[in-house]
Amino acid sequence: MVAAILVLGSALSACAGPSRPTPSTLPTSPRPSATTAPATSSAAAGATTSATGSSSATTSATGSGSPSRPVTPATPRAGHPAWVAVSVATIWRSPSSPRSVDQPALRSPADIRGWLAAMTLTDRRGLQGRADTQALLGDRVMVVATSGSWAEVVVPDQPTPLDARGYPGWLPLRQLSAAAPAPAAQYATVVSRTAWLRSDDGAAAPVVEVSYGTRLPVVAGVGTRLRVGLPGGLVRRVDAALVARRTGTGAAQQPTGAAVVQSARAFTGLPYLWAGRSGFGFDCSGLTSLVYRVHGVVVPRDADAQAARGSRVSSSALAAGDLLFYATASGYVHHVSMYAGAGLMVQSPATGQVVQTIPVSTPAYAVQLAGARRYLP
């Protein structure tokens, strides 16, 4: 029997900030005074600078090997859109937020696996108040300002009450391209935890590992693989079995409760990552928001904002895919899980734990269960 659920009301809607302590309570560095000056040429060149990746095959901004056509590095500018040019770009609270242990995540290519492997449990906990979310290869951002080798951006497809334009934060300029992927009639979205983009030649050698939810234009099909376009003009190949190929803006996977739950449970055992929103690691709301996006439904990025949208659901009417929210006595929503049916929920709970499916009635969670919302049709 599902525990009784309190109706979500204005108290939860008023909870400000992401599904973590509000900015005023976080011990972070002051937000820098960014300028709108164009990025320097050296920062732009950093977009194609070699760096050690998670594999010896990863040796340029989006991998090794010659591009299918000449690529001219484009400099992201304030007031203009740009596109993420690395597998996963972590969005930081400020340019001073990253620590020395975070350097692999700042490279181009980003060495996500190397970064995760190097962090201790204490390092992972230390991400709180430093990093807020992540964006994937090909994701569009708006550059608000630049400061030295950093760009202040908003991520439009990650809604948040923090900024009406999209989720705000900072990332290195070298992880962006001002050149969009070429438009196409069809798009390929990665639907496995991760997938390798391969060289665009007969060898089809692994080049860069990308995340679930990465969406790229399809250039053509080659046997069992698809040729996909990247920001800046590169073309890579990806195994067709690891992606969903759809026309235009069509959902990569069906927006049904059973399908959404199946996607979330596919990450069972994946370690929690604060600010994580990729197949390399999720925080609680990163899991729900990215899974929903792949299924064609855009929900707010953070738990408290997710709790303020959608349709209210009573405990007697829960259906697979509904989101369950957990709050402190003061009404602060700090966690979200997904109802999986049969009295179970799937969640990415906390640092040191993994994506799991447990009973909704689990005492530690049942006592803070504050309500449910439905986003599916």
In a domain, 370, yes or no: yes
- The last residue of one of the domains, among 139, 157, 177, is 177
Q: What is the DSSP string of 152-190?
A: EEEETTS--TT-TTSEEEEEEGGGEESSPPPP-SEEEEE
Query: What distance lies between CA 279 and its chain's CA centroid?
Result: 8
131 and 43 assigned to the same domain: yes
Band of residue 74 on the pLDDT scale cut at 50, 70, 90: low
Read off the CATH number of the domain in which 351 is found: 3.90.1720.10
241 and 257 assigned to the same domain: no
Q: What is the pLDDT of residue 1?
A: 38
**How do residues 143-194 score in pLDDT, each as one tens digit?**
999 999 999 999 999 999 999 999 999 999 999 999 999 999 999 999 999 9
Read off the CATH number of the domain in which 69 is found: 2.30.30.40
258 and 241 assigned to the same domain: no
- For the cut 60, the answer to whether the pLDDT of residue 2 exceeds it is no
213 and 96 assigned to the same domain: no
- The last residue of one of the domains, among 247, 279, 297, is 247
Peptide bond just before 109 cis, omega within 30 deg = yes
Boundaries of domain holding 50 = 34-177
Report residue 282 as tokens.
Answer: 């999720």
CA distance 292 to 188: 16
In a domain, 121, yes or no: yes
The DSSP bridge pattern shows strands 81-84 and 140-147 to be antiparallel
- For the cut 50, the answer to whether the pLDDT of residue 44 exceeds it is no
75 and 204 assigned to the same domain: no
If one compares 323 and 56, the residue with the highest pLDDT of the two is 323
Domain count, the chain: 3
Q: How far is CA 145 from CA 32, 153, 210, 370, in A?
A: 11, 7, 27, 38
290 and 205 assigned to the same domain: no
Q: What is the pLDDT of residue 30?
A: 34
Please report, rounded to a whole number, the percentage of residues in the chain having pLDDT higher than 70.
80
- The last residue of one of the domains, among 177, 211, 231, is 177
- For the cut 50, the answer to whether the pLDDT of residue 112 exceeds it is yes
The mean per-residue pLDDT over the stretch 87-94 comes to 98
In a domain, 357, yes or no: yes
Query: Cβ–Cβ contacts within 10 Å for residue 54, how many?
Result: 20
CA 47-49-51 angle, to 5 degrees, is 115
Which residue from 191, 214, 189, 375 is spatially nearest to 299, judged by alpha carbons? 375
